[in-house]
């Protein structure tokens, strides 16, 4: 019985760590031409499949793009109305996360 209790205690410690090991993290950076999105899991592995949704500052969907195989996507700024900022969502089917790009982020990185 002691061995079974030790096994159950070990599993209780491992399960929470394993559950958090595959959290999706999204990062977006801005230059004057585009927003570059990067999606990778907390274990360092890039998300190889997924959908990138671009929403305006009011959370209205502007467009969607497939995520590139290397976990990135470049979104040309001239292809979306970014005046009120953007919300970049990435959904891999089993994981999702987002990044907010403010109008100030865009202005700061474009020298405005």
Q: Please tell me the predicted confidence (pLDDT) of residue 7.
A: 42
Q: What is the pLDDT of residues 49-61, one digit of tens each?
A: 999 999 999 999 9
Q: Please tell me the predicted confidence (pLDDT) of residue 5.
A: 46
Q: What pLDDT band is residue 111 in, cutting at 50, 70 and 90?
A: low
85 closest CA partner among 49, 64, 60: 60
Supply the mean pLDDT for the chain: 85
Q: Which residue has the tokens 């996507």?
A: 73
Q: What is the pTM of this model?
A: 0.77
46 closest CA partner among 76, 22, 28, 18: 22
Q: What is the pLDDT of residues 31-48, one digit of tens each?
A: 989 999 999 999 999 999
Domains and CATH numbers, the chain: 23-109 (2.60.40.3580)
Q: Please tell me the predicted confidence (pLDDT) of residue 110.
A: 81
């Amino acid at each position: 019985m002691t061995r079974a209790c030790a096994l159950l205690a070990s599993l209780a410690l491992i399960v929470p760590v394993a559950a958090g090991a595959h959290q999706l993290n999204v990062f977006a950076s801005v230059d004057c031409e585009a927003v570059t999105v990067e999606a990778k899991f907390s274990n360092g592995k890039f998300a190889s499949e997924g959908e990138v949704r671009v929403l305006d500052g009011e959370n209205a969907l502007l467009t969607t793009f497939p995520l590139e195989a290397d976990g990135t996507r470049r979104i040309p700024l001239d292809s979306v109305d970014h005046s009120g900022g953007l919300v970049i969502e990435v959904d891999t089917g089993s994981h999702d996360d987002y990044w907010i790009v403010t109008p100030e982020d865009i202005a700061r990185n474009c020298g405005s």
